[in-house]
Structure 1
Amino acid sequence: MPGITFVDAVNFPSGNGTGDDRYGFDEGMGTAWVVDGATDVGTRRVFPELVERPPSGPLLFESDAAWYADTLNAAFTAPPRSGEAPKAYLERIIACVAETARAEALCDLSAEPRHNLPSAGGIWMRCEGGSADFAGLGDCVAIVRSGSHTHFVGQLDLIRAEHAFNRQQLAEPAGKAGGYANARVSRGRMNTEGHHWVFSIHPEAADRAETDRVSVSEGDHILLMSDGFFRLVEPYGICTVETLMDRAIEEDGLLSLVRDLRNAERNPDDDAKIGRLKTKDDATALLVRVD
């Protein structure tokens, strides 16, 4: 079975604490993933800050988003079963997270409005048999560099639409406050017919995952990232998909890219023009090489 080799990773929270992004990989199984917990917009926390999980011991979570990202990240360490399709695997993983959520929640999750439930975007991949299979929900993305060819994996239209909507919202009198109110409305519709599908506690969302299969060979590189890191391409335009991959593969590439990213996020006055509710966002990227 082809595997992957870890090359580099960055996980830079936008503020203090651990942030809401996570990443992981299993070199032998050829799997890797990035998770981006959705910022809390609910009216209450539904998970405790301190959780006891044997054998890990006490775990501190600064937000429900951090709880969900960490729990989903841990669930992804379970390998796919032989012959298990990506969507079937995601369904099993989400069901596992939902079971943990019901056990650790401070309340009856079935009685909570959806805007109070934790959620995340995420992208997962598996290298097997000369190809890389991807499955994702939300706005995390990946880039595959195979020889001189670059292949983008993700929902670019969704990312552009989010920034366009934010620009429209930030131009209105309600500004960011109105943006977060709209986010609560949108979160209340997640994983329902006709609206957006993300990782949460609804296994049926797996059937709506975006999937892609890309041919790969030994020595190819794959970069997975949260939308906060992909800001370098959309909306900042500091890199293209191709030049982002060029720089990621270079020595000190990911750290150099993070420095450029944070430099572009120094001025809150640019938020309305750029279309960002958060001046800084958690930024995570994972670079692996195909064996």
Structure 2
Amino acid sequence: MQPGLTFLDAVNVPSGTGKGDDRYGFDEGAGTAWVVDGATDVGTARLFPDIGADADAPNFGWESDAAWYADHLSERFIQPPDPLESAKAYLERVITDVTARAHRDAVVRIEEQPRHNLPSAGGIWMRRVDDTLEFAGLGDCVAIVRTGGHTQFVGNLEMIRAEHALNRKQLAEPAGKVGGYASARETRGRMNTDGAHWVFSLHPEAAARAEVTRIQMRGETHVLLMSDGFFRLVEPYGLYDIDRLMARAIEEDSLPDLAAQLRAAEQNPEDDVRIGRLKTSDDACAVLVEIS
């Protein structure tokens, strides 16, 4: 059976100037699609060339290490898995290749860097296998699937809610956002270790901890993959639930309108403590595909 994946729409709205740290991609022929959310740099040193740092190549470089990682992880997903390759084996191969590239591109010695300096990302990748959709994710990117008239959520909702709760607690303390970023550095220093969170980074062993979800297709199917910044429309803003968000997303030219609603909800930094936002406005991206 042919993959039958059709790209419908996408949106990528950085929270500031530049390209931001979110990326999306798809391959209609291979029946794959993905979203990558580069984790905001919290380290004490840049690993990869900064934009304009080289006077002879002023347009070369990346806005952040997170942008470098998101770029190269997304580019690597363009190479599809082997037909009989498991999702976790594929992710391990992807992370291994990006890690090798990191060692080549870095302006410092990667092996000498503390873990909190290493780039990382949340991400969700999907493929069609006959009449089944297979998702593999690490971190807090999510997907909504509508198939046969029923809507299903794919992702770690508990992790997203826990992040907001932790932010609310931290922002209420005297150290505020400064303390929040210090706490984020400590958390990043434990990533991809037992008892901590597992994400895309430079540790191929994280692939074994990916959440793999399979959903049986039942007729016409739409999938909306998104970063947690776009999912803010549901959590924590409550502007939509998953059913209404999916219904709105599949309307023609709706994703830009949804992005505008998202930004309208992020106008007041004074709401950060109540909502649990370490960043008043976060990078947000989403990609919508139809599978038939």
TM-score with structure 1 setting the length:
0.96
Distance 2:182 2:251 in 1: 41
In the alignment, residue 106 of structure 2 is paired with which amino acid?
Answer: A
Q: Does 1:164 align with 2:134?
A: no
AA of the residue aligned to 1:272: V
Deviation per residue, 1:225-283 (Å, 9 max, x gap): 00000000000000001111010001121111111100000000000000000000001
The residue aligned with 1:279 is 280
Q: What do the CA deviations read for 1:80-109 (whole angstroms, capped 9, x no partner)?
A: 001101000000000000000000001111
Q: Which residue of 2 aligns with 1:120?
A: 121
Give the Cα–Cα distance (whole angstroms) in 2 for the partners of residues 284 and 4 of structure 1: 19
Aligned to 2:264: 263
Cα-to-partner distance string for 1:41-73 (whole Å, 9 max, x where unaligned): 00010111259xxxxxx7531000000000101
- Distance (whole Å) between structure 2 residues aligned to residue 215 and residue 59 of structure 1: 44
Q: Counterparts of 2:253 and 2:33 in 1: how far apart (Å)?
A: 21
| Counterpart in the other structure of 2:55 | none
- RMSD, aligned α-carbons: 1.1
Counterparts of 1:58-137 in structure 2, within 5 Å, are 59-137=60-138
Q: How many residues align?
A: 285
Contact 2:3 2:28 in 1 (8 A): no
Contact 1:145 1:151 in 2 (8 A): yes
* In structure 2, C-alpha distance between the alignment counterparts of 1:221 and 1:211, rounded to whole Å: 19
Task: Tell me, in whole angstroms, the C-alpha distance in 2 between the residues paired with 1:8 and 1:147.
Answer: 21
Distance 2:143 2:61 in 1: 29
Give deviations 1:169-214, integer Å, cap 9, x for gaps: 0000000000000000000000011100000010000000011000
CA distance in 1, matches of 2:228, 2:265: 15
Q: Distance in 1 between matches of 2:68 and 2:206?
A: 19
- Counterpart CA distance in 1 for 2:256 and 2:48 is 33
1: CA distance, partners of 2:242 / 2:280: 22
Q: Deviations over 1:105-163 (max 9, x none)?
A: 01111110000000000000001110100000000000000122001000000000000
- Partners of 1:21 and 1:216 lie apart in 2 by 28
In 1: Cα distance, 2:152 partner to 2:84 partner: 25
- The secondary structure found in structure 2 opposite 1:237 is coil
In 2 relative to 1, CA 26–217 (structure 1 residues): closer, same or farther, beyond 3 Å? farther
- Measure the CA separation in 2 of the matches of 1:163 and 1:116: 23
The separation in 2 between residues aligned to 1:47 and 1:35, in whole angstroms, is 18
Question: Which aligned pairs between 1:182-201 and structure 2 lie closer than 5 A?
Answer: 182-201=183-202
Superposed, which structure 2 residues align to 1:194-273 within 5 Å?
194-273=195-274
Query: Could you say if the C-alpha distance between residues 115 and 214 of structure 1 is closer, same or farther in structure 2, counting changes exceeding 3 Å?
Result: same
- Which runs of 5 or more structure 1 residues have no equivalent in the other structure? 52-57
CA distance in 2, matches of 1:97, 1:139: 20
Contact 1:217-1:290 within 8 A present in 2 as well: no
Give the conservation status (yes or no) of the 8 Å contact 2:141–2:155.
yes
Amino acid at match of 2:32: T
Q: Provide the C-alpha distance between the structure 1 equivalents of 2:19 and 2:120, rounded to a whole number of angstroms.
A: 17
Q: Partner residue of 2:142? A: 141
Q: 2:131 & 2:25 partners in 1: Cα distance?
A: 21
> How far apart in 2 are the matches of 1:258 and 1:203?
33
Counterpart CA distance in 1 for 2:86 and 2:195 is: 25
Identity %: 65
* Aligned equivalents of 1:167, 1:238: Cα separation in 2: 19
What secondary structure sits across from 2:173 in the alignment? coil
Q: Is the 8 A contact 1:3 1:128 kept in 2?
A: no
| In 2: Cα distance, 1:247 partner to 1:75 partner | 31
Specify the code of the residue in structure 2 equivalent to 1:105: A
Structure 2: gaps (5+ residues)? 53-58
Does the 8 A contact of 2:23 with 2:36 survive in 1? yes
CA distance in 1, matches of 2:139, 2:73: 14
